[in-house]
């Protein structure tokens, strides 16, 4: 029944379908209050109500009888304010693209939470959410990194485009991670070598932060990788300080490096602020085996 232009009157009496197990009413034009009578269906396991125009500001699970409900998708239905504690039967919850500013709590049985695109300044405590395998909380107003130290089953952790500050997160307690997206925040520092303990990691997006330092070969071998918008050495170049005020980098043909400099003329003093990417191909000496650049800082 998804993808129609249904009248809200069409939902009357739907709670009489006592054997109903799955219902998809997404992408309609339903208006008015959210049909809470659906939570009277004790046999219901899968409920998809996303992308409607409900007046769902005060969303509630009061008098819930849907004790077998496993999947609830209520993305983009105009929920505002506080989202209540969810029934323990739910393992997959999608509340993305509403105007929620607080989530009361997260059930310890929940396996997947998508709260992308709300007005959240913080997530509730995740300490007891030990069943959680996927967490999507991008495009909110988070300022601190969620504490995921007890989430040993976590496979996907996405918090892009928030306002999170601090250093690169510690993921050593999450050995099953396959996908990490912390892009578009205000994180800084180096990529820690401990990241390489995540043997199952395939996707890494740390773009548009303030990370510095070299990128290891292990990181570069990820199936999907985004590093742009940082201050990273894009190659494992040989580097050392030849004196307290001179940094020496050795590049081979085709390798590039981004530095924070204030001038693009070697031999002059530099003021931090300008990102300069250079390559041996830009120096008209690509035929040589390696090039040394000395920067006087």
The closest alpha carbon to 276, from 266, 285, 284, belongs to 266
User: CB-side exposure of 62: number of CA atoms within 13 Å?
Assistant: 5
pLDDT at residue 194, rounded to an integer: 96
pLDDT at residue 57, rounded to an integer: 82
Does the pLDDT value for residue 38 go beyond 80? yes
Between 246 and 206, residue with greater pLDDT: 206
CATH of 8-239, one of 3.80.10.10, 3.40.710.10, 3.20.20.140, 3.40.30.10: 3.80.10.10
Between 10 and 49, residue with greater pLDDT: 49
> Among 176-180, 223-227, 288-292, where is mean pLDDT lowest?
288-292
Please give the DSSP secondary-structure letter assigned to residue 194. Answer: G
Residues in the chain: 297
Q: Is 179 exposed, middle or buried (0-12, 13-18, 19+ CB in 10 A)?
A: buried
pLDDT at residue 279, rounded to an integer: 39
d(CA 215, CA 92): 35
Q: Which residue has the tokens 């050495």?
A: 233
> 84 Cβ partners below 8 Å, 6+ apart?
59, 60, 61, 104
Q: How many CB atoms lie within 10 A of CB 292?
A: 10
The closest alpha carbon to 297, from 273, 270, 277, 274, belongs to 270
> Among 163-167, 175-179, 226-230, where is mean pLDDT lowest?
226-230
Please, what is the end-to-end C-alpha distance for the chain in angstroms? 66
Is the separation of the CB atoms in 71 and 46 below 8 Å?
yes
pLDDT at residue 41, rounded to an integer: 92
H helix or E strand, kind and range, residue 220 = helix 217-220
Mean pLDDT of the chain, nearest integer: 81
d(CA 207, CA 184): 6
Tokens of 262: 């204030």
Domain boundaries, the chain: 8-239, 240-297
pLDDT at residue 48, rounded to an integer: 97
Does the pLDDT value for residue 250 go beyond 80? no
pLDDT one-digit tens code per residue, 45-79 = 999 999 999 987 889 998 899 999 999 999 999 99
Helices (H), the chain: 217-220
pLDDT at residue 276, rounded to an integer: 36
Is the separation of the CB atoms in 165 and 142 below 8 Å?
no
Does the pLDDT value for residue 277 go beyond 90? no
* Helix, strand, coil distribution of the chain in percent, nearest 5: 10, 30, 60
Angle at 90 between CA 74 and CA 205, to 5 degrees: 70
pLDDT at residue 19, rounded to an integer: 87
Mean pLDDT, residues 34-54 taken together = 94
Between 276 and 195, residue with greater pLDDT: 195
Is the separation of the CB atoms in 94 and 50 below 8 Å?
yes
Does the pLDDT value for residue 86 go beyond 60? yes
The closest alpha carbon to 230, from 163, 166, 180, 275, belongs to 275
Q: Where is mean pLDDT largest: 5-19, 55-69, 122-136, 254-268?
A: 122-136
pLDDT at residue 242, rounded to an integer: 38
pLDDT one-digit tens code per residue, 132-143 = 999 999 999 999
What is the sign of the dihedral through the CA atoms of 121, 33, 58 and 83? negative
Q: Which residue has the tokens 């030849």?
A: 242
What is the sign of the dihedral through the CA atoms of 57, 58, 64 and 67? positive
pLDDT at residue 6, rounded to an integer: 55
pLDDT at residue 245, rounded to an integer: 39
């Amino acid at each position: 029944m998804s993808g129609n232009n249904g009248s809200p009157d069409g939902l009357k009496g739907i709670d009489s379908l006592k054997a109903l197990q799955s219902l998809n009413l997404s992408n309609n034009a339903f208006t008015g209050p959210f049909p809470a009578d659906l939570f009277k269906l004790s046999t219901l396991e899968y409920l998809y109500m996303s992308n409607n125009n409900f007046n769902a500001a005060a969303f509630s699970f009061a008098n819930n009888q849907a004790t077998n409900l496993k999947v609830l998708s209520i993305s983009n239905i105009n929920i505002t304010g506080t989202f209540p504690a969810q029934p323990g039967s739910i393992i997959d919850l999608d509340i993305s693209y509403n105007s929620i500013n607080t989530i009361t709590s997260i059930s310890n049985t929940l396996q997947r939470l998508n709260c992308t695109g709300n007005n959240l300044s913080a997530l509730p405590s995740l300490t007891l959410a030990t069943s959680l395998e996927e967490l999507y909380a991008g495009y909110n107003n988070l300022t601190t990194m969620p504490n995921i130290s007890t989430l040993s089953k976590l496979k996907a952790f996405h918090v892009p485009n928030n306002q999170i500050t601090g250093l690169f997160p510690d993921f050593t307690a999450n050995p099953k991670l396959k996908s990490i997206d912390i892009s578009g925040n205000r994180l800084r520092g180096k990529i820690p070598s401990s990241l390489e303990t995540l043997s199952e990691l395939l996707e890494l997006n740390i773009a548009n932060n303030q990370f510095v330092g070299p990128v290891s070969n292990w990181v570069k071998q990820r199936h999907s990788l985004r590093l742009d918008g940082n201050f990273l050495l894009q190659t494992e170049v040989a580097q050392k300080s030849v004196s307290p005020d001179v940094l020496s980098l050795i590049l081979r043909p085709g390798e590039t490096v981004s530095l924070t400099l204030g001038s693009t003329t070697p031999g002059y003093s530099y003021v931090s602020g300008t990102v300069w990417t250079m390559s041996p191909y830009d120096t008209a000496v690509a035929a040589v085996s390696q090039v040394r650049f000395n920067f006087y800082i």
